[in-house]
Chain A
Amino acid sequence: MSEKTETRSPAPRPPEPATGRLRVLAPPVTGQEFVLLGVIAVVWVLLGLATPAFVSAGSIQPLLGAVAPIALIGIGMTVVIITGGIDVSVGAMIAVCSVIVAKLVLVQAGLGLLVALLIAIVVGGLLGLGNGALIAYGRVHAIIITFGTANIFLWISLRLFNSTTVNNIPDTLASLGNGAAGRTVGVPNSFLVTILLAAVAWVYLRHTAGGRHFYAVGGDPLAAELAGVRVRQRVLVAYVLTGLLTGLASCVVVAQGSNLGQNVGNGKELAVIAAVVIGGTSITGGRGSVLGTVLGALLVQTVASGVTQLGWRSELSDLFVGVAIIIAVGADLIRQRARKR
């Protein structure tokens, strides 16, 4: 017992040598992020040369708007995957949050923007809390729990849709949409919010003890526990965070159309996980960054838009995204092996 108390409050240590510090804290921009930035830059230049309209405002603005919901949820998913977990319920969570916002809050109650945002975020947070509590305290693997809750969420959303499409959604959320009302100095507001939140998350994960603890949990939960990290609480926070962000992203989804069908959010969990993995976050936990995730989402949407604008066959974008995921995971494995040596 006395041993344990000792490990929880470690005695002050002598400062570590500089090389050790570098190995603990990854560089501000990692190798994979540089590669991604380079790939995106090259693809944009090539697309700009092939079809000049690609680099026009009319093309880039909607592209950033389409990236926003995936990248927003991706911030939370990055944290979840860093802790060694995964959340496959975010697609169904989008369905619950967006039908509540579109049908109950906007169409039926006619409430305003801030109320809609608040309700969506709270609902998302509660769903995330359900996931987090089951995973942190139930000790069943995250993929099983979130697969289960995904089906429950889906059921909730289908009951709320009640076999009808939500039509004539008022443009209360237009400031998050893809129209002219949704842009500030030419940039979609939804994307600005994404960048802002990603920046906050980046600083938090990198430079605060609470943020570093997520990495510790994913790296080795037992060691983290012994080092005094509150593992369960960190895991819980990761899923709640994902829920909150999914609620916010749902408002962006609702804002982008005037109808809402019951298949909303369908398959989006895979799009989000793809962005996180392409962004260089290790699927086994312990490493990753939200900057990479935002870049990953941007690359996926760039490829999809590029394929359409070049007049290539639509299914080619699936191929390119698949190859990008394999390369990203392969690069991660190679790095892991190099580190072990």
Chain B
Amino acid sequence: MRSMLSRTAAVVVALSMAATFSACTKKNSTAESGGSGSAAGGTIKVAFVPKLQGIPYFEAMNAGGKEAASKLSGVEWLYQGPTSADAAAQSDIVNSYIQQKVNALFIAPNDPDSMAPLIKQGVDAGIKVGTSDTDAPNSARELMVLMASAEGIGQADTDALMKAMGGKGKFAIVSCGETAAQLNQWIAEIKKYSQSKYPDAKLVDTVYAGEDVAKATQMGTDLMNAHPDLKGFIGVCSTAGPGVAQAVQNAGKIGKVLTVGMGTPNDMKKYLDNGAASAGVLWDAKALGCLTAWAGQQLAQNKQLQATQSVSECGLDGVTYDSSTKILLMGKPLTFNKETAGNYNF
């Protein structure tokens, strides 16, 4: 009995030690700018809570935010997210930033609806709360920093694929989650725009692979089998882009089936080089992080955003603001190919 107790105790100690370790590391790697308490000496604290931390896309946003903080005087950039795209874990982090009374708080919500009450709570506590990358439309958020409009992304995807396909033929879309509102908006735009601009092209199917590259590859393979005359794919999320390109490569159909993917330049590079992907569509995540930090400063200083402005700290021109929707729009998405993919490091 005693030995069993001590064994159990050893297990518990081992587990809790591991938990402490991981918690420490997380803290160290994220809140490295340090310092807590209220905005002493007029420092504006801008916090950003990504859907999850550790993926290159959000780490690029973090890099952009840090860079902005070093250029804008008196801005401190805080960044922390859950290790998986989990709404509850994300809420805890948002909550802790509200308790810390940061000056401006931006969130890329995993679940916009469940985030709404917390956003309200933050606003009530006197914090400027906004969303970045992903919106929470039915919330009290005071600003949304948007990388590109749904129209812009849908058109860029469609134009890039149609350029490769010669404007005609059958194509299919592979997406991530079926309930991802933003992805569904882009898909709706692709449908609308391809019907009006490219009448000879036909969208045959839209499938959802979750955030799983292997599953996107398998679904891409299945679609090519179901439609032997399929000529193109659009992978509208960061795992589907490389996934469909891998499917084309596996099937030995490079050049016969063309793909455009919304993967990061680093993920798409190999497929762009071997021809399995024709182009990638994304936006400069680093610039988006930078713009988020800048917007946080503007909000905290109660400055009015202009209808159109340049943000030289982020190298951005023509950033537009719509006061009715409270959306700050960074610009057009960027379409990259094998020559230009190397210009971005995320």
**Is B264 in the interface zone, CB < 8 Å from A?**
yes
Pick the residue among B204, B226, B239, B266 that contacts A51 (CB under 8 A).
B226
**Is B195 in the interface zone, CB < 8 Å from A?**
no
**Chain A contacts for B221, CB-based, 8 A:** 58-59, 62
Residue-wise, chain B 228-260 has the 8 Å CB interface mask toward A (1 for contact) of 100000000001001100100111100000000
**Chain B contacts for A62, CB-based, 8 A:** 217-218, 221, 250-251
**Contact at B8–A179, with CB atoms within 8 Å?**
no
**Chain B contacts for A314, CB-based, 8 A:** 178, 207-209, 219
Chain B residues 196-229 with CB under 8 Å of chain A are 204-205, 207-209, 211-215, 217-219, 221-226, 228
Residue-wise, chain B 71-101 has the 8 Å CB interface mask toward A (1 for contact) of 0000000000001100000000000000000
Known: A257-B246, A309-B225. A164 touches B218 (CB 8 A): no
Known: A151-B18, A165-B266, A165-B267. A258 touches B246 (CB 8 A): yes
**Is B22 in the interface zone, CB < 8 Å from A?**
yes
**Chain B contacts for A140, CB-based, 8 A:** 7-8, 11
Residue-wise, chain B 1-30 has the 8 Å CB interface mask toward A (1 for contact) of 000100110110001001101100100010
| Chain B CB within 10 A, most for which of A56, A137, A158 | A158
Residue-wise, chain A 288-306 has the 8 Å CB interface mask toward B (1 for contact) of 0000000000000100110
CA distance in complex: A20, B212 (Å): 49
Least CB distance from B129 to A in Å reads: 26
CA distance in complex: A339, B137 (Å): 58
Least CB distance from A78 to B in Å reads: 22
**Chain A contacts for B224, CB-based, 8 A:** 58
Known: A66-B214, A304-B218. A261 touches B239 (CB 8 A): yes
CA distance in complex: A262, B55 (Å): 7
Least CB distance from B153 to A in Å reads: 21
**Contact at B228–A256, with CB atoms within 8 Å?**
no
**Is A202 in the interface zone, CB < 8 Å from B?**
no
Residue-wise, chain A 311-332 has the 8 Å CB interface mask toward B (1 for contact) of 1001100000000000000000
**Is B48 in the interface zone, CB < 8 Å from A?**
no
**Contact at B225–A138, with CB atoms within 8 Å?**
no
**Is A233 in the interface zone, CB < 8 Å from B?**
no
Residue-wise, chain A 42-70 has the 8 Å CB interface mask toward B (1 for contact) of 00000000010110101100110010000
**Is B269 in the interface zone, CB < 8 Å from A?**
yes
**Contact at A309–B226, with CB atoms within 8 Å?**
yes
| Chain A CB within 10 A, most for which of B15, B18, B178, B250 | B250
CA distance in complex: A228, B205 (Å): 60
Pick the residue among A137, A163, A180, A256 that contacts B56 (CB under 8 A).
A163
Least CB distance from B92 to A in Å reads: 16
**Is B110 in the interface zone, CB < 8 Å from A?**
no
**Contact at B211–A263, with CB atoms within 8 Å?**
yes
Pick the residue among A138, A158, A267 that contacts B83 (CB under 8 A).
A158
Closest to A168 in B: B270
Closest to A165 in B: B56
Least CB distance from B169 to A in Å reads: 17
Given A167-B266, A179-B249, 13 more contacts at CB 8 Å?
A56-B225, A148-B15, A151-B19, A151-B22, A154-B83, A163-B54, A179-B250, A257-B243, A259-B267, A304-B215, A308-B223, A308-B226, A311-B226
A contacts, CB < 8 Å to B: 51, 53-54, 56, 58-59, 62-63, 66, 134, 137-140, 145, 148, 151-152, 154-155, 158-159, 161, 163-165, 167-168, 177-180, 253, 256-259, 261-263, 266-267, 301, 304-305, 308-311, 314-315
A–B pairs, 14, beta carbons within 8 Å? A54-B225, A62-B218, A140-B7, A154-B83, A155-B18, A165-B55, A167-B270, A177-B250, A259-B270, A301-B218, A305-B222, A308-B205, A308-B226, A310-B226
